[in-house]
Amino acid sequence: MPKSAAEPQNPNADVAALSYEQARDELVQVVARLEAGSAPLEDSLALWERGEALAARCQQWLDGARERLAAVREPVDE
């Protein structure tokens, strides 16, 4: 079935390109807005989905950092 123009695109696709700081700062903002609770229901759901995507991205960064640290581990006395 051909992709129709009406099929919704993933609004959180841009998260994959964010740096760690960018994702984390946006995540803090999203949580703040959710906790304020003043957004319409549809928007709140979308916000929550974005929050999840951002949190996953941050965790991905941290896991990657740990791996890089472990990879450089050499014996300290040569």
Interface region with other proteins, contact rule CB under 8 A, candidates 1-9, 11-19, 59-67: 59-67
Q: Is 21 exposed, middle or buried (0-12, 13-18, 19+ CB in 10 A)?
A: exposed
Give one word for 37, left, alpha or beta, with left for phi > 0 and alpha for psi -120 to 50: left
| Closer of 6 and 76 to other proteins (Cβ) | 76
- Residue 45 engages other proteins in binding (rule: CB under 8 A): yes
Name the site residues for other proteins (rule: CB under 8 A). Answer: 20, 24, 27-28, 31, 34-35, 37, 41, 44-45, 48, 51-52, 55, 58-59, 62, 65-66, 69, 76-77
